[in-house]
Amino acid sequence: MKDGFVKVAAASPVIRVADCDYNAQRIIEIIREADAKGVKLLVFPELTLTGVSCFDLLTHRVLLKGARRALDAVAEATKGVDMLVLVGLPLAEGARVESAAAALYDGEILALPADGLFRCAALPELQVAVELGDDRDARERPAAVLAGAGATVIAQMAAFPATVTSTGEALAAVKYESKQLRAGLVLAAPGKGESTTDRVYSGLCLVAENGKLLASDEQIGPARTSLAVSEIDVQYLVNLRRGDEDFAYPDEDVAVCDWGGESVETTLTRAFNKHPHLPEDPAALPAYCERMLDLQVSGLVKRMEYAHLDHCVVGISGGVDSTLCVMVCAMAVRRMGLPSTNVVACTLPCFGTSSRTKSNAIVVAEQWGCEVRVIDIGKSVYQHFDDIGHAHDDYSIAFENAQARERTQVLMDIANKVNGLDVGTEDLSEFIDGWCTFNGDHTSMYDVNLGLTKTQVRAAVSHIAATTADRVLKAALYDVLDCPVTPELLPIKDDMIEQKSEDAVGSYALQDFFTHNILIEGFSPAKTFRLAKAAYGDEFTDEELIRWLRSWCRRLFSQQFKRSCLMDGPAVEAFTVSPRTGFLMPSDGEAALFLRELDELENKLGIRN
């Protein structure tokens, strides 16, 4: 259960109504199958040993005795099995009979009925709460109370029958409740072995985590066992809850039962999104991109109206960021009822500008109807070099930064002249890795890309390219997407792009993956490495992943001073690095602990740094 992952399963056997011995054997078979898969938590439906459709038979002495005998057989079958098994049966206490859950582990009945929390000794973040029945009022259910007391996984031993809408309703409820409670949910409902006197059951089995469905199975067609298996990340769930008062003070009155659990590495079968800042379902991407664009445009319109400005000034380079920015500006002035020519798109060529990027920048701006200005800053930069005593052939950092700062000065001064706003183009990914010149492209009057990662920027540009009827614009946008990311600050040869950002800071797709997992999810570098391996497969070697993880961690800390004074700009998702409302950290923190973990990982993998 390394890194907080626990393999769980919901199972629904095809039982025989009131035949407890037969049902026990089916349960035992599933326990063996689940154990072979590495399952550590196995959840069965309510009244598994008898069937939920026994009705008045549930109070009969013979059935009660048979259910208890069958439970002992199932418990015996768990001996030597590292798995918490939850089985349902009727339980008599004097004249009272109730539906109960039995918690079984390593040949023992840990609890009957299974009230309170079941805490795993090998993974203390794994605390399981049991819920019986079908009450859908989430806030009054035991699960909500126990989640507040510390339960990270809720075992829902359900009893509902199948209808034409039951699966969709259960899916919606499980996603909603797991999101509200920031928990993992494992739901098992009765299957086709139940009585069909008045109802039919489908054996629906679901596994969800924080609003995301991880696995599902259902007995559609011939009767068979349904089994949904996946891995819930309880470490992630605890990270989500930290800082929330609803989860900060566990109820000390809730009984806690400890069970074993071996500290083994869980084999991961669930999918991990290579681009976690984009929807997993491709069908959802167009609406997602439209929403991103609307947030950018709305933020810019509000700022311009508030400041009584009627022009946007954008530095266009032919890169994907400035391309999106100029299109957002064009959308904004149109929404304000202003002509597209109120967007002043300035291309500012200098020593590293290629004709390809310059051409694309001009084409995109012109196709949107913007005013295009070509301002060669080479002469100004050379004069600046002379003023500060910098040799024209000295390609050190001052050579690069002087160009970026000259461009920013020109853009801001033009904005002042035209009653406009210098709209920034830097994206969230570049602010995190610090790949920008302080008080150069780092600075603007309002940055519409501040809340978008590089993968989100590319997705938005690709969406516009795919949906535009303008063939010239479409071709230019696709060529922009095909160009390598470059700051264009060093001299070029034969008009070819030589300075490539990803050669210095790594793949932006990887960077965004690291940002999501380390900053948003709160994972360690080692766990992030593991998830990157799962998401990307053989696309990167271990050495490459660790190299870029180390680079990302170093830059996260060393470049924070640039984030500590960022301009305004709209957040697109819940995460931002705004110094006012975003992720905050000191400008002089040390990356030592993060880097030490990567050193240890390298040693474990036999990689020499």
Question: Residues 93-104: pLDDT tens digits?
Answer: 989 999 999 999
Strand order from edge to edge, sheet including 256-259: 212-217, 205-209, 184-188, 153-157, 127-132, 117-120, 256-259
Mean residue pLDDT of the chain comes to 92
3-class state of residue 91 by DSSP: strand
State mean pLDDT over 409-414. 98
pLDDT of 355? 59
Q: Is CATH 3.60.110.10 correct for 2-259?
A: yes
Percent of the chain past pLDDT 90, that is, above it, reads 83
**DSSP secondary structure, 176-225, as one string:** HHHHHHT-EEEEE---TTS--SS-B----EEEEETTEEEEEE---SS---
What are 503-541's pLDDT values in tens digits? 778 899 999 999 999 999 999 999 999 999 999 999 999
State mean pLDDT over 302-328. 96
Q: How confident is the model at residue 134 (pLDDT cuts 50, 70, 90)?
A: low
Q: Which residue is associated with the tokens 């009131």?
A: 18
Alpha-carbon distances of 347 from 13, 97, 373, 407, 493, rounded to whole Å: 67, 80, 6, 9, 20
Specify which residues 103 forms β-bridges with. 86, 111
Neighbours of 417 (CB within 10 A): 11
Strand order from edge to edge, sheet including 446-447: 371-374, 343-347, 311-315, 420-424, 446-447
Of 84, 152, 83, whose CA–CA distance to 124 is shortest?
Answer: 152
**Rounded Cα gap, residues 324 and 341, in angstroms:** 17
**Rounded Cα gap, residues 602 and 529, in angstroms:** 11
pLDDT of 483? 83
Q: Is the pLDDT of residue 352 over 80?
A: no
Residue 152, Cα to own-chain centre: how many angstroms?
18
**Rounded Cα gap, residues 351 and 329, in angstroms:** 27
State mean pLDDT over 430-452. 96
State mean pLDDT over 134-142. 52
Q: Is the pLDDT of residue 544 over 90?
A: yes
**Rounded Cα gap, residues 544 and 550, in angstroms:** 10
Of 231, 156, 143, whose CA–CA distance to 190 is shortest?
Answer: 156
**Rounded Cα gap, residues 264 and 258, in angstroms:** 18
What are 358-398's pLDDT values in tens digits? 688 899 999 999 999 999 999 999 999 999 999 999 988 99
What are 254-313's pLDDT values in tens digits? 788 998 877 788 999 999 999 999 999 999 999 999 999 999 999 999 999 999 999 999
pLDDT of 211? 96
State mean pLDDT over 192-218. 97
Q: Which residue is associated with the tokens 């993956």?
A: 513
pLDDT of 496? 53
Of 389, 385, 442, whose CA–CA distance to 565 is shortest?
Answer: 442
Length of the chain as a residue count: 609
Q: Which residue is associated with the tokens 């920027």?
A: 457
Q: How confident is the model at residue 493 (pLDDT cuts 50, 70, 90)?
A: low
Q: How confident is the model at residue 138 (pLDDT cuts 50, 70, 90)?
A: very low
Q: Rg of the Cα trace of the chain? A: 30
Both tokens assigned to 441: 């492209």
State mean pLDDT over 14-34. 98
Cβ atoms 58, 50 nearer than 8 A: yes
pLDDT of 354? 58
What are 554-588's pLDDT values in tens digits? 999 999 999 999 999 999 998 999 999 999 999 99
Of 343, 364, 346, 361, whose CA–CA distance to 300 is shortest?
Answer: 343
Q: Which CATH number is associated with domain 282-605? A: 3.40.50.620
Sequence-separated (6 or more) residues with CB below 8 Å from residue 334:
340
State mean pLDDT over 390-411. 93
State mean pLDDT over 410-428. 98
pTM for the model stands at: 0.90
pLDDT of 609? 59
Q: How confident is the model at residue 115 (pLDDT cuts 50, 70, 90)?
A: confident
pLDDT of 133? 80
Lowest pLDDT segment from 114-118, 227-231, 356-360, 464-468: 356-360
Percent of the chain past pLDDT 70, that is, above it, reads 94
**Rounded Cα gap, residues 56 and 34, in angstroms:** 32
b (16+ CB within 10 A) / e for 85-106: bbbbbbbbeeeeeebbbbbbbb
Q: Which residue is associated with the tokens 């089994």?
A: 227
pLDDT of 146? 78
State mean pLDDT over 3-25. 97
Of 219, 170, 227, 155, whose CA–CA distance to 191 is shortest?
Answer: 219
What are 144-196's pLDDT values in tens digits? 777 888 899 999 999 999 999 999 999 999 999 999 999 999 999 999 999 99
Q: Is the pLDDT of residue 135 over 50?
A: no
pLDDT of 579? 95
pLDDT of 485? 66
Q: What are phi and psi of 207, to 5 degrees?
A: -130, 125
pLDDT of 486? 58
Ranges of each domain in the chain: 2-259, 282-605
